[in-house]
């Protein structure tokens, strides 16, 4: 198939034509959540934009296989190999076991994704499912001389690589600036940038989850899980790997180091990184404790899809600042948009040439390094354009396969309070009309619809049944 999507590749720092290894097929990997707390809306910005990428690839015709891990073990609160284990921290906070915490927050994560119309990846694999794979890769790295044992832990030896800092060319001191002030040095390391593949000597005696390994009872480092889980499901070559920009270093840098050392060849061609969502005080982060969640937005009366629209209105490679004022404006825009679409009638035939022209413009916007705000502009322009309602409605439906804003079946929050008497009257009429239709008495059914229309009530036949609203 024709490759026409251009994407910025963090590895080459250039916009490039995206060409997968296998014609028409895309092997895609996403770093999943660390499930020791709720995802904040910053994390979810990354997952919304990655969802947009996946759906764009599908829209233009690729067959995508997308894999995501769930980090339910071994991710430390510092990005260095020191600090408290995040999962353990969560378990202590809530007086639960690590596995209970992991299950609860995994479910919460997918429930948030659901509310934001983020598709579940084809494969979702918790790290704790793949201990055998981790042990296999660590053993192979030791055999090949890329790893060493020191003080009970297994470390990756970054000095064995010609180019460890593949993303930046910077040295580690520069990269660690601003990451954390209290990064402790691990005296076992031969080189400052070496990282742990397998722990048996944790500072934390109460580490709950441990497994037998050739090096003793222990648990995996964080980075190894993404290399092993992706290879387990996507094989030795991957097309595109996604994450938030904070994952570039050390996480993705270390993933590349160990994967390519293990494989002996290049592993992943394209790296897609989503910039951060900030609040007024800076980057939103889970470890700050006080962060915004989807449930919090809902409790304040916001539709989660308004947050999705807010994210789509801005480019994924730009930082985005969250504020309630902007979300209020977005709510108004969203409600107007879905109202406009719900006012479109089903009358007429699709004007195919116009349909094709607008679909091409929409694809072109997204093919241009996922220019989602331009794609939304195409939607607005299409709604204003000179074509019949049927064509507009079909285009809106088609665009929504990617935008996933429920453009045709949205529940807008601004619905005016309904008079109970009017409601029961209209519902009775709808029932009457249903009976008439069942009896194939379409004249009566139409008469009921018109009678209601004269009273300012519009009926709509939707897949979920008949809906009504005031004209
Ligand atoms: P975590 O659950 O901390 O492993 O993070 C899950 C995903 O969210 C990763 O891809 C992170 O890079 C990303 N992420 C973390 N903080 C933010 C933020 N403030 N804005 C956007 N993405 C973020
Ligand atoms: Zn990862």
Instruction: State the Cα angle at 352 between 349 and 358, rounded to 5°.
Output: 120
SS3 352: helix
Residue 24 CA to ligand 2 center (angstroms) comes to 25
Residue 31 CA to ligand 1 center (angstroms) comes to 9
- Res 16: pLDDT: 98
- Detail the DSSP E strand segments found in 193-302: 195-199, 219-220, 238-244, 268-274, 277-279, 282-283
- Which of 106, 113, 108, 121 shows the shortest CA–CA distance to 30? 121
β-strands 25-30, 63-70: how paired? parallel
What global pTM score does this model have? Answer: 0.84
19-274 with 295-403: one CATH topology? no
Q: Is the beta carbon of 283 within 6 A of some atom in ligand 1?
A: yes
Rounded to whole angstroms, the Cα distance separating 46 from 278 reads: 12
pLDDT(326) > 90 = yes
Q: Is the beta carbon of 246 within 6 A of some atom in ligand 1?
A: yes
Are residues 141 and 155 in contact, defined by beta-carbon separation less than 8 angstroms? no
Residue among 74, 87, 244 whose CB has most ligand 1 atoms within 8 A, to mutate:
244
pLDDT-based confidence at residue 182 (cuts at 50, 70, 90): very low
User: Higher confidence at residue 101 or residue 294?
Assistant: 294
Q: Is the beta carbon of 247 within 6 A of some atom in ligand 1?
A: yes
pLDDT(56) > 50 = yes
Are residues 22 and 282 in contact, defined by beta-carbon separation less than 8 angstroms? no
- Which of 165, 134, 128 shows the shortest CA–CA distance to 147? 134
Mean pLDDT of all residues belonging to the chain: 89
The residues, ordered by sequence, that sit 6+ positions from 454 with a Cβ below 8 Å of its Cβ are none
Residue 229 CA to ligand 1 center (angstroms) comes to 19
pLDDT(306) > 80 = yes
**Ligand 2 ion: nearby residues, β-carbon < 5 Å:** 31, 226
Ligand 1: residue whose CA is nearest its atom 6: 33
pLDDT-based confidence at residue 423 (cuts at 50, 70, 90): confident
Query: Would you state the torsion angle of the CA atoms of residues 328, 330, 336, 341, taken in this order, to the nearest 10 degrees?
Result: -150
Residue with tokens 């930082």: 319
Q: Is the beta carbon of 314 within 6 A of some atom in ligand 1?
A: no
pLDDT-based confidence at residue 415 (cuts at 50, 70, 90): very low
Are residues 434 and 422 in contact, defined by beta-carbon separation less than 8 angstroms? no
Q: Is the beta carbon of 77 within 6 A of some atom in ligand 1?
A: no
User: Higher confidence at residue 425 or residue 141?
Assistant: 141
- Tell me the β-bridge partners of 273: 243
Are residues 469 and 460 in contact, defined by beta-carbon separation less than 8 angstroms? yes
User: Higher confidence at residue 204 or residue 55?
Assistant: 55
Task: Please state the atom number of ligand 1 nearest to the C-alpha of residue 39.
Answer: 2
User: Higher confidence at residue 185 or residue 82?
Assistant: 185
The string of pLDDT tens digits covering residues 159-181 is 999 889 888 755 555 555 434 33
The string of pLDDT tens digits covering residues 232-271 is 999 999 999 999 999 999 999 999 999 999 999 999 999 9
pLDDT-based confidence at residue 14 (cuts at 50, 70, 90): very high
Ligand 1: residue whose CA is nearest its atom 22: 43
Rounded to whole angstroms, the Cα distance separating 401 from 396 reads: 9
pLDDT(429) > 80 = yes
pLDDT(105) > 70 = yes
pLDDT-based confidence at residue 316 (cuts at 50, 70, 90): very high
Return the percent helix, strand and coil in the chain, to nearest 5.
Answer: 45, 15, 35
Residue 421 CA to ligand 1 center (angstroms) comes to 49
User: Higher confidence at residue 222 or residue 65?
Assistant: 65
| CATH number of the structural domain 295-403 | 1.20.120.640
Measured on CA atoms in the order 43, 48, 54, 60, is the torsion positive or negative? negative
Rounded to whole angstroms, the Cα distance separating 268 from 225 reads: 16
- Res 466: pLDDT: 83
pLDDT(143) > 50 = yes
Angle, helix 389-403 to helix 352-367, in steps of 10 degrees:
20
Q: Is the beta carbon of 276 within 6 A of some atom in ligand 1?
A: yes
Residue 360 tokens read as 């091409």
Range 63-79 burial, b when 16+ CB lie within 10 A, else e: ebbbbbbbbbbbbbbeb
Given the candidates 3.40.640.10, 3.40.50.620, 3.40.630.10, 3.40.47.10, the CATH classification of the domain at 19-274 is 3.40.50.620
Residue among 29, 31, 32, 46 whose CB has most ligand 1 atoms within 8 A, to mutate:
46
- Cis previous bond, 197, omega within 30: no
H or E element: which one contains 381? Answer: helix 372-384
Task: Please state the atom number of ligand 1 nearest to the C-alpha of residue 45.
Answer: 21
**Cβ neighbours of 54 (radius 10 Å):** 22
Ligand 1: residue whose CA is nearest its atom 14: 43
Q: What's the average model confidence in pLDDT over 389-413?
A: 91
Are residues 27 and 239 in contact, defined by beta-carbon separation less than 8 angstroms? yes
pLDDT-based confidence at residue 280 (cuts at 50, 70, 90): confident
Rounded to whole angstroms, the Cα distance separating 124 from 107 reads: 12
Q: Is the beta carbon of 85 within 6 A of some atom in ligand 1?
A: no
Q: Is the beta carbon of 42 within 6 A of some atom in ligand 1?
A: yes
Domains in the chain: boundaries: 19-274, 295-403, 420-470
Q: Of the given ranges (27-36, 62-71, 72-81, 325-334), which has the lowest mean pLDDT?
A: 72-81
- Which of 18, 37, 17 shows the shortest CA–CA distance to 27? 18
Q: Is the beta carbon of 74 within 6 A of some atom in ligand 1?
A: no
Q: Is the beta carbon of 31 within 6 A of some atom in ligand 1?
A: yes
Ligand 1: residue whose CA is nearest its atom 12: 244
Residue 171 CA to ligand 1 center (angstroms) comes to 23
Measured on CA atoms in the order 110, 111, 112, 116, is the torsion positive or negative? positive
β-strands 277-279, 282-283: how paired? antiparallel
- Tell me the β-bridge partners of 76: 85
């Amino acid at each position: 198939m024709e490759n026409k999507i251009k994407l910025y590749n963090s590895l080459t720092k250039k916009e490039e034509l995206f060409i997968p290894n296998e014609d028409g097929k895309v092997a895609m990997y996403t770093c999943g959540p660390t499930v020791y707390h709720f995802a904040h809306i910053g994390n979810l910005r990354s997952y919304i934009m990655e969802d947009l990428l996946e759906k764009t690839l599908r829209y233009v015709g690729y067959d995508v296989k997308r894999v995501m891990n769930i980090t339910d073990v071994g991710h430390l609160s510092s990005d260095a190999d020191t600090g408290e284990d995040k999962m353990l921290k969560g378990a202590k906070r809530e007086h639960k076991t690590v596995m209970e915490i992991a299950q609860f927050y995994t479910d919460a994560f997918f429930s948030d994704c659901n509310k934001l119309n983020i598709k579940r990846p084809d494969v979702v694999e918790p790290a704790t499912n793949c201990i055998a794979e981790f042990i296999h890769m660590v053993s192979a790295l030791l055999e090949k001389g890329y790893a060493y044992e020191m003080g009970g832990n297994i470390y990756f030896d970054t000095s064995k690589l010609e180019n460890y800092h593949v993303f930046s060319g910077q040295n580690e001191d520069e990269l660690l600036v601003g990451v954390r002030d209290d990064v402790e040095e691990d005296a076992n390391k031969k080189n400052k940038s070496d990282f742990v593949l397998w722990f048996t000597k944790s500072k934390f005696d109460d580490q709950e989850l441990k497994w037998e390994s050739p090096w003793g009872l222990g648990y995996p480092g964080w980075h190894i899980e993404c290399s092993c889980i992706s290879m387990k499901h996507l094989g030795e070559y991957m097309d595109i790997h996604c994450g938030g920009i904070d994952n570039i270093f050390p996480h993705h840098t270390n993933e590349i180091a160990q994967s390519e050392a293990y494989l002996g060849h290049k592993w992943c061609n394209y790296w897609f990184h989503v910039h951060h969502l900030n609040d007024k005080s800076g980057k939103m982060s889970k470890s700050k404790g006080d962060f915004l969640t989807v449930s919090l937005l809902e409790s304040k009366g916001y539709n989660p899809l308004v947050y999705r629209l807010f994210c789509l209105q801005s480019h994924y490679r730009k930082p985005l600042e969250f504020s309630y004022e902007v979300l209020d404006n977005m709510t108004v825009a969203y409600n107007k948009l879905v109202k406009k679409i719900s006012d479109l009638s089903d009358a007429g035939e699709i004007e195919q040439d116009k349909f094709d022209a607008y679909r091409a413009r929409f694809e072109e916007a997204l093919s241009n390094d996922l220019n989602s705000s331009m794609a939304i502009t195409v939607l607005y322009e299409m709604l204003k354009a000179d074509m019949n309602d049927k064509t507009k409605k079909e285009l809106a439906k088609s665009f929504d396969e990617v935008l996933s804003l429920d453009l045709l079946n949205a529940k807008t929050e601004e619905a005016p309070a309904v008079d109970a008497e009017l409601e029961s009257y209209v519902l009775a009429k709808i029932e009457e009309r249903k009976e008439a239709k069942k009896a194939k008495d379409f004249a009566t059914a139409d008469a009921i619809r018109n009678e209601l229309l004269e009273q300012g009530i519009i009926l709509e036949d939707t897949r979920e049944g008949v809906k009504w609203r005031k004209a």
